[in-house]
Amino acid sequence: AQSVSQHNHHVILSEAASLELGCNYSYGGTVNLFWYVQYPGQHLQLLLKYFSGDPLVKGIKGFEAEFIKSKFSFNLRKPSVQWSDTAEYFCAVNAHRNAGNMLTFGGGTRLMVKP
């Protein structure tokens, strides 16, 4: 079975600091990778996704992620965070299977950005 690990549970940064959130998955086959964000009291929104091609993926709001297949990692980065980036971030994977489209999520990382 596939699993996803997010090693940072809570991150506190000051505005303008750089961000990197770790995500590792375990699955030996082909996967699609996602980062979702959940702002306080809101639903999950897709930040970016990787299906194939260039392993450096750019998403919305200045976020990017790099897929490193050899490390089974898909880390999220942003060069300069803003107070409005305060949210919970989820990494998710779906494996190419015979049927279905289930997402497996990591435990989430709560980011707090201090103004």
Partner 1 sequence: DSGVTQTPKHLITATGQRVTLRCSPRSGDLSVYWYQQSLDQGLQFLIQYYNGEERAKGNILERFSAQQFPDLHSELNLSSLELGDSALYFCASSVGDRERYEQYFGPGTRLTVT
Query: Which residue of 23, 76, 95, 111 would you call a contact of partner 1, by CB under 8 A?
Result: 95
Amino acid letter, 89: Y
- Using DSSP, state whether 54 is helix, strand or coil: coil
Query: Which residue of 40, 53, 70, 101 would you call a contact of partner 1, by CB under 8 A?
Result: 101
105 lies in the binding site for partner 1 (CB under 8 A): yes
CB of 80 to partner 1, least distance (A): 27
Dihedral over Cα of 51, 111, 4, 46: its sign = negative
Q: Closest CB to partner 1 among 16 and 46? A: 46
70 lies in the binding site for partner 1 (CB under 8 A): no
CB of 49 to partner 1, least distance (A): 7
> Are 37 and 13 in contact, with CB atoms under 8 Å apart?
no
Whole-angstrom distance, CA of residue 90 vs CA of residue 109: 7
